[in-house]
Structure 1
Amino acid sequence: MWQGQHRWPTNRTMSKKLELTRRRVLGGLGTIGVASAVAGLGTSAYLSDEESFEDNTITAGTLDMQVTASVEAANDYWAQQTNLGELEATADGEAVTGLQVDDVKPGDWGIICFDIDIGDNPGYVQVRTENLESSENGYTEPEPTSGNETNMTGDFNDPGVSDGAGELQDKILATVWNDFGGGDRTALSGLDGTTNVDGGSQAEAWDPSRDEGGVVDSDTHYTTLQEAYDTYSTGVTIRDGAGDPLAIEDDGENFDPEFCLLLEIPAEVGNEIQGDSLSFDLVFEAEQTRNNDSPFST
């Protein structure tokens, strides 16, 4: 027999306790659920590794050519008119004037040498002529030597002829030489075949026996300025002794190739050049030698 009083919980009281208990249980489960989610994020990474190459750089090379033109020698009259040592100009990016000569007469001559500096990267070099302009200008008689002055016909160009061209380009002899030892024309050697009309063997040195038209013998015929201009107008690549394009580079021995241009007016030329003048451009172009089996598309 029970002693005292003991009350069983009513349904209302039981319900309230059960409700409180569910909240606690659900809250606890919620806490466990969040903890599980966090733990899951922390354990989902794969094994990994990472290596890197930083600051990779590619720089294109340069090909920088300079060409210096200098008047190395001239006949006494030209040499007395100016200081030949001052007649030097270097082209490096911008065009420069290489030669200006006034009052030329039969018997005058000059040698202009071109020194080519290609820099560190080897390259092939092509020489090209452009913009030949010939002017008759005013002249004093008796310039014409043939033809009909009244009808303006013949092998000369009077001022009245439409093109107004002079004859100077057909009377000046222009030849390219591989070497100049200093002094006068006899120190020139290695006539370049591009300025030998007859082709054949190349003269070892300048020959004073040539005639007004530049003929020396059956193997050597010096070109006129017009003929040389026409040959170089499409571009001529500088070549070595074997005829292959010459790879020009600074090989540590200050190797700078040079070629020389001889301009001369034979003493036999007469009055037909009086008052005439001309101008032309020489253009030097360089291309890399590496991976270049056909420089200038030759």
Structure 2
Amino acid sequence: MSDDESKIELNRRRVLGGIVTVGAAAAAAGAGTFAYFSDSEASNDNQVSAGTLDLTPESGSLATFAFSEVKPGATKGPHSWTLNNAGSIDGSLDVDVTVNNNSGVDDGSSGTPANSTDVSESDLAKAIEVTTLSYGGADITGQISGSTTGPSGYFTAGSSYTSLYDLANNTHADGSGDGESDGGNDLIDLADPGSGTDFKIAVKLRSEAGNDFQADGLDVAFTFMLNQNGGQ
């Protein structure tokens, strides 16, 4: 090999060596430390508090009604309650209705002709038709699943109607799909009353009611419940 050839080969080695050296320097530079910007802000004194449901009648208390001197074929009412939710969260309104015999048999001492027949509470409730049942101006009798043709033994079977007995003994299937009962209340899942919603009822003693119903009466109780969830 000539000296020139030897020099050329050596130069190539140097060049290759130089390339390797540069590559190593670049790798070393990549292993250096870098700084990143950052900033933070804090939100303190946050709170979580429970909301409230507060069912209140507009007058401060639920007034009672007395439908007295009722005669066959006559309608009494409607009686109206205005309900409010003074709480901070919306709810679902349920209504439970109960009827009890008030032992209204007259003994004649009041000057009213005596009536020795004490019609049972269920028979009397079946003789009383619910002619108006509304909430917020909307008819809600469609929630009542039952109907009657009157108390057996007192009325001749005719056309069916919604009675006070049907309202007080109304049942609802579980429609929520959660496997839980709908609370057993007679009217369920009514809208939140907000700042004021009227609940109205009117009744009529059916014209078929005869002398056996004279002086008999019922005590009727309406219980309104505002729940967080429908069917609760």
Structure 1 residue 172: Cα displacement: 1.3
Q: Deviations over 1:177-214 (max 9, x none)?
A: 33697xxxxxxx73522346359xxxxxxxxxxxx789
Residue 73 of structure 2 corresponds to 107
Give the alignment of 1:201-220 within 5 angstroms: none
Pair 1:118-2:85 in alignment: yes
Q: Distance in 2 between matches of 1:277 and 1:56?
A: 58
Give the alignment of 1:80-159 within 5 angstroms: 90-91=60-61, 96-109=62-75, 110-119=77-86, 120-130=88-98, 132-138=100-106, 158=117
**CA separation of 1:228 and 1:275: change in aligned 2, threshold 3 A:** same
Is contact 2:106-2:114 (8 Å) kept? Answer: no
Q: Deviations over 1:144-201 (max 9, x none)?
A: 7xxxxxxxxxxxxx45xxxx845532321125533697xxxxxxx73522346359xx
Structure 1 residue 267: Cα displacement: 3.0
Which among 192, 205, 209 is matched to residue 248 of structure 1? 192
| TM-score (normalised: structure 1) | 0.45
Give 3-state SS (helix, strand or coil) of 1:261's partner: strand
Q: Distance in 1 between matches of 2:147 and 2:52?
A: 40
Q: Which amino acid in 2 is paired with 1:128?
A: D
Q: Distance in 2 between matches of 1:179 and 1:249?
A: 9
Residue 35 of structure 1 corresponds to none
| TM-score (normalised: structure 2) | 0.55
Pair 1:284-2:219 in alignment: no
Residue 168 of structure 1 corresponds to 124
**Quick one: higher RCO (CA 8 Å, sep 6+), 1 or 2?**
2
Q: Distance in 2 between matches of 1:126 and 1:278?
A: 22
Q: Which amino acid in 2 is paired with 1:269?
A: A
Give 3-state SS (helix, strand or coil) of 1:234's partner: coil
Q: Deviations over 1:14-65 (max 9, x none)?
A: xxxxxxxxxxxxxxxxxxxxxxxxxxxxxxxxxxxxxx98766543221111
Unaligned runs of 5+ in 1: 1-51, 69-88, 145-157, 182-188, 200-211, 239-244
Q: Distance in 2 between matches of 1:260 and 1:214?
A: 29
Which among 139, 142, 157 is matched to residue 193 of structure 1? 142
**CA separation of 1:90 and 1:224: change in aligned 2, threshold 3 A:** farther
Q: CA RMSD in A?
A: 3.9
Q: Distance in 1 between matches of 2:47 and 2:91?
A: 25
Q: Which amino acid in 2 is paired with 1:124?
A: S
Q: Which amino acid in 1 is paired with 2:57?
A: V
Is contact 1:139-1:275 (8 Å) kept? Answer: no
Is contact 1:214-1:224 (8 Å) kept? Answer: no
**CA separation of 1:263 and 1:101: change in aligned 2, threshold 3 A:** same
Pair 1:66-2:65 in alignment: no
Residue 180 of structure 2 corresponds to none
**CA separation of 1:249 and 1:226: change in aligned 2, threshold 3 A:** closer
Structure 1 residue 131: Cα displacement: 5.6
Give 3-state SS (helix, strand or coil) of 1:114's partner: strand
- Percent identity, aligned pairs only, is 22
Larger radius of gyration: 1
Give 3-state SS (helix, strand or coil) of 2:231's partner: helix
Q: Distance in 1 between matches of 2:219 and 2:187?
A: 22
Is contact 2:169-2:186 (8 Å) kept? Answer: no
